[in-house]
Chain A
């Protein structure tokens, strides 16, 4: 390397670093300074002064030790690099410009630290997110438990209500039958009274069922079971059920039918019937003059249902609210749980339909929905299926602990050509089955001494395969599945009608050869 190059480099570096210099003796007194010291803010440093009184970074340092401080903020704010170099008992202090290094390091360090802070913040937030998710999962579990308890409570309430309702409805029917057979003076109003009891009981039953359905919908326990249904039968049934309500309010109930008279389709009859009763029941409830029309049309495997009324209508601001559970129009003075419409909409959705409400306040309301309903050729004669009597006499073992219900069922079954033996619990049922043979066992579930499930299990263990039909107020899907698993042949929900028993018995009783 030619001699000129190191000289050049030396000169360039000296210019860039602009080093200032001072020399201190062993007592830290200044013995020598460079002229550019003041450029770094070190003023008043003259020979003979105590350096530690003017230069903060010298306080406490050992003058016998070399020290290198890469970046120090000088008194005038300039970043400087400081080298302390002991030499023969003296101390050389070199102060050089470090702005270039400072700027570069500052930028890099600032960015790196800010990134690190962001990462830490992100970690904290992620931790909070995980904690929030865990909390959410915990609350969800609590809610599910609460929902399960609610469902179980509603089911329990339903059970408690259904049993006495079965008795009221059944005994009232017996009373109506015997009244119908009597010759009575025209002024006698007993028939009117029993009709009122029937209407009120059925209304109470529908309220209980709505409460139960609300819980089951929340728990996802409602399933849709399409079966062949004759549309005219369905509409006739509805008419029979609703006409007394319309007559009582002196309004017209109109039925529009747009389907062949013997048209049968695949739908869940009980759910469609429930929706139509809810909607038409509402229409009648909120119509004081004019008419309610139930229109049913079937075309291209689609069932179109429409309930039109000339009632009070719905205010625009209430249209969204009426679909909420438990909501009721405040100023109508109409009774109810406020669940009917919400349940109906959810069931319609479960069946793949969508409920539409159009209304003009003061003029009336139209509620409509469509369902996929494939036409079926299955030849069903519903009138025959609903025949409320056995063709040949059958022997039935009735296991029921509620004596009122038992008395009612015995009377109704005997009227329907059955020979009935009644026992009050499962243990007595097992004894009866050992003594005699029966065509059918009707079994309650909740009984003292031995319940229904245990009885069925023991029957099957003993090799007794008499058909068993559960007859219970429990509408829990879990109970139905359990019954199925135990090999039960049918499941009837109280209040049970004799026609239901006859229909199910006809299917399962195999005539002895």
Chain B
């Protein structure tokens, strides 16, 4: 799980793994590792600390990843624009791994995802989901799509 800080990576993971959600923002330091079974596949989810202006993503946490969930906040367009830079780090470390995109916080007012933004920030091979960690919409679909792509 990679993306800018406060886009909801931990919330999505917790919703998917433990079906819990908290509104309180608690920044992730380093990495949290969780597991979940998707069909017959054991998915080990590395929830990596969000990128911010001062600390880029530590590529060490990407080691051995079979696929990536790129997470952005649909109410903060900047977090989607930064996909390009994050992808540079990811692909530099892992090559062309399967990617699914979560445009998170679909339940919040002020959705600012436009066609132009998608056109410039999302690669055509990536599967895109508008998700809500709060109400769970598209969360199982997101991880199932990633597993499908990894297993292909």
Please give the residue numbers on chain A whose beta carbons come within 8 Å of chain B beta carbons, in ascending order. 56-57, 59-62, 65, 67-73, 79, 98, 102, 105-106, 109-110, 112-114, 116-117, 120, 124
Contacts and interface: CB of A to CB of B under 8 A. Distances in A.
B112 to A, nearest CB: 9
Interface string B36-67: 00000000100001101111001011011110
A60 B44 contact: yes
Nearest to B43: A59
A73 B31 CA distance: 7
B123 interface: no
Contact of B64 (A62, A109, A124): A62
Interface residues of B, number: 29
Nearest to A61: B64
B5 A113 contact: yes
A60 B33 contact: no
Interface of B: 5-6, 25-27, 29-35, 44, 49-50, 52-55, 58, 60-61, 63-66, 76, 78, 110
B60 A60 contact: no
Given A69-B61, A116-B53, A60 B66 contact: yes
Contacts of B52: 109, 112-113, 116
Contact of B27 (A60, A109, A124): A109
Contacts of A114: 25
Among B25, B31, B55, B78: residue with most chain A CB under 10 A: B31
Among A62, A79, A113: residue with most chain B CB under 10 A: A113
Contact of B60 (A69, A105, A112): A69
A214 to B, nearest CB: 42
A129 to B, nearest CB: 15
Given A60-B64, A106-B27, A72 B53 contact: no
Contacts of B54: 112
Contacts of A73: 30-33
17 contacts: A56-B35, A57-B33, A59-B44, A59-B64, A65-B63, A67-B63, A68-B60, A71-B29, A73-B30, A73-B33, A79-B29, A106-B29, A109-B52, A110-B27, A113-B6, A116-B5, A120-B78
Given A56-B44, A59-B64, A61-B63, A117 B25 contact: yes
Contacts of B25: 113-114, 117
Contacts of B64: 59-62
Contacts of B110: 124
Contacts of A79: 29-30
The 4 closest A-B pairs by CB, nearest first: A71-B30, A60-B64, A61-B64, A73-B32
A382 to B, nearest CB: 70
Nearest to B30: A71
B10 to A, nearest CB: 11
Contact of B76 (A56, A71, A102, A120): A120
Contacts of A98: 30
B63 A62 contact: yes
Nearest to A70: B30
B44 A105 contact: no
A112 B35 CA distance: 29
Among B29, B33, B60: residue with most chain A CB under 10 A: B29
Nearest to A105: B29
Nearest to A104: B29
A69 B30 contact: yes
A417 to B, nearest CB: 80
Contacts of B6: 113, 117
A110 B27 CA distance: 5
A102 B27 CA distance: 11
A414 to B, nearest CB: 78
A72 B27 contact: no
Nearest to A121: B76
B54 to A, nearest CB: 7
Contacts of B32: 72-73
B141 to A, nearest CB: 23
B66 A110 contact: no
A98 B29 CA distance: 11
Contacts of A105: 29-30
Contacts of A72: 30-33
Nearest to A117: B6
